Amino acid sequence: MDQIRIEGGQRLEGRIPISGAKNAALPLMCASLLTDESLVLRNLPRLSDISSMAHLLGSMGISFSILGDDEPHQGHMGRVISLDGKKLTSTRADYEIVRKMRASILVLGPLMARMGEATVSLPGGCAIGPRPVDLHIKGLEAMGAEIDLRDGYIHAKAPGGRLKGGIIDFDKVTVTGTENLLMAAVLAEGRTIIKNAAQEPEVTDLVICLKAMGAQISGEGTDTLTIDGVERLHGATHDIIPDRIEAGTFMVAAAITSGDLFLEGARLEDQPAFTEILQKSGVTLEQHPDGVRAAANLKDIKGIDLVTEPYPGVATDLQAQYMTLMTLAQTPCTIDETIFENRMMHVPELSRLGANIDVDGNTARINPVSSLKGAEVMATDLRASVSLVLAGLAAEGVTTVNRIYHLDRGYERIEEKLRRVGAKIQRVSSETTPKAGNTLRQVGT
């Protein structure tokens, strides 16, 4: 099993291209289920989650053609892929795939919209909390779906083969829940209103694409989406937005190495709250027409409290990375995780590197230390794993991160990108044989 080995203490300087957003790409790929014409997606990142989704959609009859790589523009160098769902051959998503990638649940809405039926495995528990899908199910029921939960599967059917518009008022903001119901509503009969909808830029990106396919949607970027169902959708070409979580991660990389990075294609407007917190803590962030400059001197970084919240608040997907930076700040701070129940698993690993963090429930108090020391650590989920890479960049000596399959789910060629700006980082094959239970675990970030 591969490991990442980092020799810390190098100042990072240079340009890093930001890839297309994984969390935008996954629902956009599922939107191909909604039409019998081609959906062309540009700036698709090369990630294992994208391959898993392609595998799942392929099993349903979607065919893929790689149209090539984009001309690099503003750092966008992702693939261009055409997804064709002329004829769907299956409406089933098996446990094997859903357990590996929770975002597989995103096929439920579009399958119900186009085929009037779907059988999708329940995701089950995962490393960052129980993460139920009850809100997805309730929403579909509000649109007339009959749902039967049996044998660990969601068996959903629309009477008469077509969903009906309804009012969905989410108890809790859910990103993939909003995306699933949006995709269910675009072909339903009549009007659907989604209240307390997620406002994440990835949701807006999906709305832009669905509209280009002929959907009638208003309210994007707000907490209320109104969808008037249409009879059919057509093909479209869509540019995926840059990955704000990857960009935020590299902002932290600049700060923690007292570096100066230019993140090609990044947009501060996609993460207003995180931008504000980093700036308050002493990181220079400048928006330029073609990207963001992030620079800092670690000796000037202050501890600023952070609370994760639905957008426009600070993304939970940046919490672990920020915590790593705070372990080396000049003053203490607290971090409250309000989105997921079990998202502090990076704390014991950071402690192995010498960090001093007290955890009480979902609140962490970070007591800064003067330095981290390299050690062997283990990635537990996608964002936790990158927080360990960041820690390794700043730590004295060598840090080895194990179980990096988590990293490959969401960070495109991270060691290459970091090496090009001065990091001493390499991917190596571990001599240890994988133990039982070391195989891909489901963590749906």
Active centre residues (catalytic): 126
Q: How many residues bind ligand UD1 (CB under 6 A)?
A: 24
Of 319, 327, 442, 445, the one binding ligand UD1 by CB under 6 A: 445
Spatial separation of the C-alpha atoms in residues 179 and 45, rounded to whole Å: 19
Regarding 99 and contact with ligand UD1 (CB under 6 A), the answer is no
CA distance linking residue 273 with residue 123, whole number of Å: 30
Distance between CA 113 and CA 233 in Å, rounded? 11
Q: Buried b / exposed e across 275-298, counting CB within 10 Å, b at 16+? A: bebbeebbbbbeeeeebbbbbbeb
User: Is position 52 an interface residue for ligand UD1 (rule: CB under 6 A)?
Assistant: no
User: What is the nearest approach in angstroms of ligand UD1 to the Cβ of residue 297?
Assistant: 30
Of the candidates 208, 161, 154, 206, the one whose C-alpha atom is nearest the C-alpha of residue 181 is: 206
* Phi, psi for 398 (deg, rounded to 5): -105, 130
User: Does residue 379 contact residue 385 with C-beta atoms inside 8 Å?
Assistant: yes
Residue 274 makes contact with ligand UD1 by CB under 6 A = no
The amino acid occupying position 444 is: G
Closest approach of Cβ 36 to ligand UD1, in Å?
25
**With CB under 6 A as the contact rule, which of the stretches 150-158, 161-169, 171-179, 189-197 interacts with ligand UD1?**
171-179
- Is 294 a residue that touches ligand UD1 (CB under 6 A)? no
**Where does this chain touch ligand UD1 (CB under 6 A) — which range of 217-225, 281-289, 315-323, 328-336?**
315-323
Least distance in angstroms from the C-beta of 252 to ligand UD1: 17
CB 192 within 8 A of CB 229: yes
Nearest to 402 by CA among 381, 426, 376: 376
Q: What are phi and psi of 300, to 5 degrees?
A: -100, 0
Q: Is 109 in the site for ligand UD1 (CB under 6 A)?
A: no
* The one among 8, 177, 265, 392 contacting ligand UD1 by CB under 6 A: 177
Q: Is 444 a residue that touches ligand UD1 (CB under 6 A)? A: yes
Contacts (CB under 6 A) with ligand UD1, residues 360-419: none
Nearer to ligand UD1, 176 or 281 (CB): 176
CA distances from 96 to 10, 56, 222, 334 (A): 41, 10, 35, 38
> Phi, psi (5° rounding) for residue 147?
-125, 130
- Fill in the per-residue mask, 192 to 231: x = in contact with ligand UD1 (CB under 6 A), - = not in contact: ----------x-----------------------------
Task: Kindly indicate which of the ranges 54-62, 221-229, 312-320, 371-379 contains the residues binding ligand UD1, using the contact rule CB under 6 A.
Answer: 312-320
Q: Is 102 in the site for ligand UD1 (CB under 6 A)?
A: yes
Q: Which stretch binds ligand UD1 (CB under 6 A): 57-65, 74-82, 146-154, 170-178?
A: 170-178
- The residues of the shown chain that bind ligand UD1, judged by CB under 6 A, are 23, 26, 102-103, 129, 131-136, 172, 174-177, 202, 315-317, 339-340, 444-445
